[in-house]
Amino acid sequence: MDTLTGWGRLPEPGRELFDEDIETLTRGAVLSRGLGRSYGDSSLPASPDDKVANSRFANRILSFDPHTGVLRAEAGLTLVDLVRLMLPRGWFPPVVPGTRFVTLGGMVASDVHGKNHHREGCFGAHVRALRIRLADDRVVECSPEADVDLFDGSIGGMGLLGHILEVEFTMHRIPSQWIWMERERVPDIGAFLESISRAAPEWPMTMGWIDCLKRGEEMGRGVLMAGRWASADEAPARNPGARPEITMPVVLPDWALNRATAGLFNAAYYWSHLRRRAAGMMAPGAFFFPLDVILEWNRAYGPRGFTQYQCVVPRAAGPDAVRKFMEQLTALGAASPLCVIKDCGPEGRGVLSFPMEGTSIAVDIPVSGHIQRVVDGLNQFIISVGGRVYLTKDRFTRPEDFRAMEPRLPRFLALRAKWDPARRLRSAQSRRLFGDAA
Ligand SMILES: Cc1cc2nc3c(=O)[nH]c(=O)nc-3n(C[C@H](O)[C@H](O)[C@H](O)COP(=O)(O)OP(=O)(O)OC[C@H]3O[C@@H](n4cnc5c(N)ncnc54)[C@H](O)[C@@H]3O)c2cc1C
């Protein structure tokens, strides 16, 4: 028996199997798992006896067409390996999340989004075909032309319709190996939302960090970043080298992160951007994956672990809704040094895919005796404005709240009934949210 955890470090007992041969590995398994970078319980087993297929050794690139950028690989290929191989050759994945330590299977199953969602949508928008092992052990190829409902349900389907064995998608050609970045310190949430929407038509990539502990006039002050690939003319001649990495050496005690220390961190980070505006060349690693520089940084949240609450506040709810969300967050006492804001474009094709037109807010919250009350309170607000939470980050949403915020759920459950009527494929999350058997 193993103890498996997501990135939030909350454990579940289970049995994890590893093999280079992903077709053998997934036969009879009830859940797929990549690098376990989902924060909550989506990659954790529903029961200690469940077999979880870990894909990380099934990581071969099967084909690549240098004319079209179409790449096919096994689902366990990691983003860190893909970028290491393809960046020097002038190619980059069309969409990447905020860490390189994810697999292709995990990127599809969560339908990950990046800093370019307003331009490129989610990763699933660039997927051309998936090879999938179904719950009844058949292997099928699905795409926007064949078994379309299985394809759409598997994108963002959290591994509940089938084990993804292979992914075919289109890489982007890039003009250089560098990012041109501009950064601006923004005094409050209103100005922040204005700046991010002003930047969206001009910049392919945007994102911001906000200080979610500040109240009053400075509520939501932060730092907005915008970027684009540098042209070949303006990029430095040298290649960006590998970044030095350090490992968080120990699990910090529970008391280390509290409202006071998080507030100090936030103020220090905000004022470390001394100039109101800055611009320059940046290595893609530092731009896309800033947190990867400290390996195992999740230990900073202490032995009780943490959750990330990520929601989208729809544009239709108006800019004041984001301010009210921030007020709710501070009123509930959720102290966090990490609060990330992104601009989301229109909803993609994945049936349960997370983003929708609006503002995504992600905030790390240490687990304490109050965590359920905090998540419930935030969920009530998100339901009231017609938003939703991101399943790959979620650990505490109640099933009735998820139903209330997800009008697409009946369609997803109908797909499960078609492709896996016995609900053999399941996770700790599907047990919690959809009532699957343990
Ligand atoms: C620091 C950090 C930053 C992040 N930033 C972002 C971000 O900017 N945007 C974003 O969208 N996400 C972000 N994430 C979340 C992360 O991208 C997703 O959770 C991703 O799914 C993790 O990939 P994984 O390979 O570790 O999958 P796991 O965590 O192992 O699994 C996640 C889900 O995918 C399923 N799955 C995995 N492999 C397969 C497969 N082969 N077949 C079928 N189902 C499978 C699992 O069952 C589970 O439901 C971030 C996570 C971290 C830790």
Per-residue pLDDT tens for 8-35? 999 999 999 999 999 999 999 999 999 9
Phi, psi for residue 335 in degrees, rounded to 5: -85, 125
Q: What pLDDT score was predicted for residue 261?
A: 73
Per-residue pLDDT tens for 125-164? 999 999 999 999 999 999 999 999 999 999 999 999 999 9
| C-beta of 293 in contact with ligand 1 (< 6 A) | no
Q: Where are the beta strands (DSSP E) in 102-221?
A: 127-133, 139-142, 163-170, 172-173, 179-186, 205-210
Low-confidence spans in the chain with pLDDT less than 50: none
Looking from the CA of residue 78, the nearest atom of ligand 1 is: 25
Coil, helix or strand at residue 259: helix
The domain segmentation of the chain, as residue ranges, is 179-403
Q: What pLDDT score was predicted for residue 391?
A: 98
| C-beta of 31 in contact with ligand 1 (< 6 A) | yes
Instruction: Choose which residue among 20, 31, 51, 99 to substitute to test ligand 1 binding: the one with the highest number of ligand atoms within 8 A of its C-beta.
Output: 99
How far, in Å, from the CA of 392 to the mean position of ligand 1?
6
In SS3 terms, 375-401 reads as: HHHHHHHHHHCCCEECHHHCCCCCHHH
* Other residues' Cβ atoms within 10 Å of the Cβ of residue 45: 26
* Other residues' Cβ atoms within 10 Å of the Cβ of residue 361: 24
Cα–Cα distance measured from residue 39 to residue 362, given in angstroms and rounded to the nearest whole number: 12
C-alpha 115 chain-centroid distance: 11
C-alpha distances in angstroms, 246 versus 80, 265, 293? Answer: 16, 19, 6
Instruction: Choose which residue among 161, 392, 420 to substitute to test ligand 1 binding: the one with the highest number of ligand atoms within 8 A of its C-beta.
Output: 392
pTM for the full model? Answer: 0.96
Instruction: Give strand pairing partners of 308.
Output: 364
Fold (topology level) of 179-403: Alpha-Beta Plaits (3.30.70)
| C-beta of 124 in contact with ligand 1 (< 6 A) | no
* Other residues' Cβ atoms within 10 Å of the Cβ of residue 437: 11
Q: In b/e form, how buried is each residue of 151-172, taking b as 16+ CB within 10 angstroms? A: bbbbbbbbbbbbbbbbbbbbbb
How far, in Å, from the CA of 113 to the mean position of ligand 1?
11
Nearest to 108 by CA among 168, 171, 65: 168
Rg (CA), the chain: 21
